[in-house]
Structures are given as C-alpha cells and as structure tokens.
C-alpha cells in the first residue's frame, strides 16, 4: 500500500481531535508533522513527527504530499493557494474560504495543476445524519414537503479563540456551524433555487452574529437551517416531513466526545450512539400506519479519509469536492445578502 505523507497547518483541537487520530489509524496515511507557531505540542503526542517553524519550511519539504488547512477561515484561501502552488494535495476545513470567488479560484488552480482538493465536511459521516439520509433515500416518508436541520447549543459566553469573535472575513456562526447544515442540506436535496435568512446577535458583548435561521427554497419543498446559542432544551435536530410521514432525530453523534476522551477510530464501539437517541419514524407503510424507533447507523469520519486516499491514489472522485464547497459559499453569501436586504435572494 502506497503511503500518503500528510502535514497539518496547526495542532490545536481540530488537528488533535479531527485529523491526527484518523491519519494514524488509516494504514494509507503517515502523519509527518504540523506547523506550530509557538508551543510545540504535536511531538508530545507523536514523538516521531516534525514540528515545522514556518509554513515555508513545511511546503518545501518534498516528503509532504498532502496538506490539511485547519487554520482560521480567513487564512484558508491564502494557505490553500500556497500549498497548491507547492504541488501539494489539499484538504481545507469548513468554511472552504471567505468568498465563493476565492473558492472557485482554488478549484481552477487545483485542476490546472492536476491536484486533489477537498473540503473537510466530516459531519456527512455523523451517525444521526447517515440515518436521516437512509430514511429519506429509502422513500419511507414519500415526497419531502419540509425539513428542518438544527445545530443548537446553550453557550452564552464568548469563545476563548479570539479570532472567532472579531468581525472579519470568515467570522460568525453562519461561517462556523452554517457550513455543516448547508452541506447536509445539499447532500439531501441539491442546490436550492433561492435563500432567505434572518441573523441576530444574542450573546452579551458579541460582535458577530450567533443566531441564524436560513430558509432554502426548492420547487416542491422548503428546508430550514437553524442555529442558536441559547437553547438549553433542544428540539430534534432533524425534523423531516413528507407526504407519507415524519422522521424526528436528535443530534447525538458521539464521535467528537469520544475523540476528545482519547478513543481511537478503530475502537469496536467507536461511533455507536446510545439506543436512547434512536429517531422516531411515524409513517404509512403498505397501508398501515407505524410509529417506531429506528436503529441509528454507526458514524465514522474514517470513511472521509478513505475517500481521500482513493482519490489521491486511484483518482476516484473526492468525497467532498471543491464544487461542494463553492455551493456552500454561494449559500453563505446569499444568506448575508438576504439578511441585509430583507428579501429572498435567487440563486438559479
């Protein structure tokens, strides 16, 4: 098996939790190091890897084949562009860039240089979303009429990460949690025809929007995306209603919490939700009405990394493409335009 030597552009929470465990478990990847500005943390966890003092030192290392851009959103375009120009394959965390134009430029550059470029939308492999996807695609609900996808939490304090609280390109909840919900909506339903958005600042002392409700218009149904920081008792994160019935499911994927505790992605119980979080299906089946709990599928972000490996080695389609990232950026820009103009913004 050919090995893909991979480097991270930071080793904070995302590097430690969402990338390094998968790069070290998957036999096709070798974690080779990370760019660290001050505190050298990665060598404590992985003594055999390198700690790069600068981005330039990482990019000139001929051993590095794949670079993961896991730095603040405002840096994504610049760092991804430099990595592509250094002939590295690139994964960029969400949000892909600060603008759709930047995202399109990166796509063109990657294609010109025949390099793999992907957006890290790991929550496509959340247990709850995989289960929702199965229910919809199985036709159990019939034609979908409306769907709501929420990412709510109770967190009234400001983030300790200062870059997340300063008004600048890529800041705000629409850029933070919004891409997760938008990407999931796109996977389920494709690109909407139009967007309407309402954004607010609710936390004391906040300078950036921390609440959003975004309505996606499709020809025969509507999709509502919502996120707020003052939700102590959340409604079901997925509320899907069709002509034959409904499916309600909590946001209960355990992967992030498990990874923070140090569980490895190859652990036999990794990604398995508790039975108490099973979704409720209330629908018509063969002329009979049923209301039952649906077992939750197992989640595992390792499938994303397997897709990246296959794309680099076997030239298969990337698991999350640059076009997917561009579509999310177009919805983000439409949401801000809709909010500022207080009107529906047409996409196509």
Q: 305-315: per-residue pLDDT in tens?
A: 999 999 999 99
Give yes or no on whether 4-122+304-319 and 125-300+331-346 have one common fold: no
Question: 42-46, 164-168, 226-230, 289-293: lowest mean pLDDT where?
Answer: 164-168
Tell me the per-residue pLDDT of 167-183, one tens digit each, with 9 for 90 and over. 888 889 999 999 999 99
Alpha helices in 248-301 (DSSP H): 255-260
Tell me the per-residue pLDDT of 206-229, one tens digit each, with 9 for 90 and over. 888 999 999 999 999 999 999 999
Q: What is the pLDDT of residue 224?
A: 98
Q: What is the pLDDT of residue 166?
A: 84
Are 153 and 177 in contact by the 8 Å Cβ rule? The answer is no
The Cα 8–Cα 13 span in angstroms is 12
Distances (CA, A) of 103 to 50, 77, 106, 129, 170: 30, 7, 5, 25, 13
Tell me the per-residue pLDDT of 130-165, one tens digit each, with 9 for 90 and over. 999 999 999 999 999 999 999 999 999 888 877 778
In this structure, which CATH number among 3.30.465.10, 3.40.50.720, 3.20.190.10, 1.10.3210.10 belongs to the domain 4-122+304-319?
3.40.50.720
Q: What three-state secondary structure class fits 224?
A: strand
Tell me the per-residue pLDDT of 97-135, one tens digit each, with 9 for 90 and over. 999 999 999 999 999 999 999 999 999 999 999 999 999
Q: What is the pLDDT of residue 36?
A: 94
The Cα 63–Cα 317 span in angstroms is 24
Give bridge partners of residue 198 from the DSSP assignment. Answer: 213
Average pLDDT, the chain: 96
Residue 323, pLDDT above cutoff 90: yes
Q: What is the pLDDT of residue 47?
A: 95
Give the mean model confidence (pLDDT) for residues 291-317: 98
Q: Does domain 125-300+331-346 have CATH number 3.30.465.10?
A: no
> Rounded to the nearest 5 degrees, what angle is found at the Cα of 145, between the Cα atoms of 139 and 147?
90
Would you list the domain boundaries of the chain?
A: 4-122+304-319, 125-300+331-346
**Residues of the chain above pLDDT 90, percent:** 91
């Amino acid at each position: 098996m050919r090995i893909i030597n991979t480097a991270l552009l930071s080793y904070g929470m995302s590097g430690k939790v969402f990338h390094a465990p998968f790069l070290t478990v998957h036999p096709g990847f070798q974690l080779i190091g990370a760019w660290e500005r001050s505190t050298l943390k990665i060598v404590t966890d992985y003594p055999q890897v390198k700690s790069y003092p600068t981005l330039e030192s990482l990019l000139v290392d001929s051993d590095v084949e794949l670079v993961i851009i896991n730095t603040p959103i405002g840096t994504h375009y610049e760092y991804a562009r430099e990595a592509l120009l250094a002939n590295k394959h690139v994964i960029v965390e969400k949000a892909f860039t600060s603008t759709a134009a930047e995202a399109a430029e990166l796509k063109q550059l990657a294609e010109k240089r025949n390099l793999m470029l992907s957006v890290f939308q790991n929550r496509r492999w959340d247990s709850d979303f995989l289960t929702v996807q199965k229910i919809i695609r199985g036709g159990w609900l019939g034609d979908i009429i409306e769907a709501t996808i929420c990412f709510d939490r109770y967190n009234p304090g400001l983030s300790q990460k200062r870059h997340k609280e300063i008004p600048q390109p890529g800041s705000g909840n629409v850029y933070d949690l919004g891409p997760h919900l938008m990407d999931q909506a796109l996977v389920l339903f494709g690109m909407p025809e139009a967007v309407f958005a309402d954004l607010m600042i609710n936390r004391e002392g906040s300078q950036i929007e921390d609440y959003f409700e975004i309505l996606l218009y499709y020809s025969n149904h509507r999709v509502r995306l919502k996120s707020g920081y003052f939700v102590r008792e959340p409604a079901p994160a997925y509320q899907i209603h069709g002509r034959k019935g409904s499916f309600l499911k909590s946001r209960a994927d355990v992967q992030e919490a498990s990874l923070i505790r140090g569980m490895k992605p190859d652990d036999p119980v990794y990604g398995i939700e508790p039975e108490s979080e099973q979704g409720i299906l209330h629908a018509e089946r063969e002329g009979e009405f049923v209301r039952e709990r649906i077992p939750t599928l197992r989640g595992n972000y390792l499938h994303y990394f397997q897709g990246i490996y296959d794309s680099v080695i076997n030239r298969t389609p990337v698991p999350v493409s640059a076009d997917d990232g561009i579509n999310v950026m177009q919805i983000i820009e439409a949401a801000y335009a809709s909010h500022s103009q207080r009107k529906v913004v047409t996409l196509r």
